[in-house]
Structures are given as structure tokens and as C-alpha cells.
Amino acid sequence: MRSVNAFLQPLWLAFGLLTTLPMGRLIAAPVSATDSGRSVLCYPLVGLVIGAALAGVATALQAVDAVLGAGLVVALWVVLTGALHLDGLADCVDGLFAGHGRSDPERTLAVMKDPAAGPMAVVALVLMLALKSAALIALWPQVGPALLVAAVLARTAACLLMASTRYRRREGLASTLALNLSRRDAWVMAAIVAGLTLAFAGVALGVVAMLAALAVGMFWRALWQRRIGGYTGDVVGALIELVETTALVAAALSVGPWS
């Protein structure tokens, strides 16, 4: 029973943080630091559930117009995540454009913490949602595999970012997670995800999506290393949005609908 609880508690924590699904209510108090760290390793499983839910809805809507179907899937996507990652993207864009460049990382962090969204942040959100919708329209109606892969790889990328980069704030939503995340386990988990992605999606979709995720992840990490010397929760959330969108767009551009 203890081994079951040791696995489920981090999983519920991951769902509670990354989604609006009611599994977060199953979290048992008190939450240990170890469980917090292990919850990051469950991010790909959360992505799997999100991707499966989106793929199921897309399958149910496959007979409707592509524009309407894609719009409904993207709307559900936002609802399932509570727009948490979109908020992170908006904060990061504000920090990049209003943070006085590389010379003032503390100013950048302060801007990112401000809940108000600037005009560039709004533009970024519109573009992100538009690109997701356009990619789904291009892949419609057989979007299930691409949705699953994009959702899982995005949260795997988030886990690897947290495992390989210094957390920049003294306190914050991700501080306990960062301190208790096993770097070795994160890389093992990523290797498992890569193997399962190729097995499930095939070499074509799997390789395209993983290369897209890798390129975005490396660029995003390097950018924030230069700007603030690490990452914040906003940086992680924005990375999830960027990888999801890039994986879908890469799939749509490279091979078209997946059968």
C-alpha cells in the first residue's frame, strides 16, 4: 500500500499543478518534499492524459468542419490546463521585452512577476493559439497521434529543463520541486518517453516531433540562462506551450495528416 501511495501522491500533485482535473483533490496532506520532487517525473503522464482527452474529442468531432473542430479542441486544451502555461508565456514575453535586456536580470524577474499583461504578451498569446489551431486544421481529422505526442513531449521538456537548470527565485511555486527533483531519474524518464514515442507514433512523426521539442527546449533554456541565469515557473509553463505548438506545426509542415 505504501508503494502505491508513494507513486500516486506525486501523480496527484502533478495533476493538481498542471491541470484543472479533479485528481488534485486526492492529494493527501502533508505533502513531503520528496513527493514534490517526484511529481515532476509524472509530468509526461499528465501530458498523456491531456493528449488522450484532446485526441478523444478530436475523434468525436472528426466529421465536423476542420476550423470548428480545431477551435473546439484548442478551447478544451485551454480549459484542461487552466491557461496556466499561457500565463507563463505572457509573463515571459513581458520580461523579454520590458526587462531592460541582459543587463538587468532582477528587472526582468520583477516584470515577469507583475500580473498585468503588456501588448506584446497579448500578441504572443493570440499567435500561439492561432498557430495551434492552424496546425490542427492542417492535420484534421487525423490529429490524435500528433496531439498525444505534443502533449507528452512538452511536459517531458519541462521536466528536463527543471532537471538541468538552476531555479532562479528564492521562493516560488517551483522552488520545492526544483530542490527535490532527481536529475538522473529525469533523464531516465526522458529516454523512456523517447522510446515509447517512436513505438507509438512511428519513426516519421516521432522523430519530427522530438527534434522540434529538442530544438525549442535548447533555445529556450539558453535564452533564459543568458537573461536571468536560470528558470522560473513562468519559463517552464511557456516552454510547454512552445513545444506543444512547435511539435504540431512541424508535423503539419513536414508530412501532413497522420494515418
pLDDT digits (tens, 9 = 90+) for 201-233: 888 889 999 999 999 999 999 999 999 999 999
Confidence grade of residue 175 (pLDDT, cut at 50, 70, 90): low
Query: Using 50, 70 and 90 to split pLDDT, how confident is the model at 172?
Result: low
- 48, 148 in Cβ contact below 8 A? yes
Q: What is the rounded CA–CA span in Å between residue 189 and residue 170? A: 27
As a whole number, mean pLDDT of residues 35-40 equals: 86
pLDDT at 207: 92
Q: Say if CB 38 and CB 57 are below 8 A apart.
A: no
Tell me: the pLDDT tens digits for 11-21?
A: 999 999 999 98
pLDDT above 60 for 167 = yes
**Confidence (pTM):** 0.91
The number of CA neighbours under 13 Å toward the Cβ of 216 is 28
Tell me the C-alpha distance between 35 and 240, whole Å. 22
Cell output for 187: 533523464
Between CA 197 and CA 97 the distance in angstroms is 36
Residue with cell 518517453: 193
The residue ranking higher by pLDDT, 177 or 144, is: 144
Whether the per-residue pLDDT at 171 is higher than 80: the answer is: no
Q: Over the stretch 61-96, which tens digit does the pLDDT of each residue have? A: 999 999 999 999 999 999 999 999 999 999 999 998
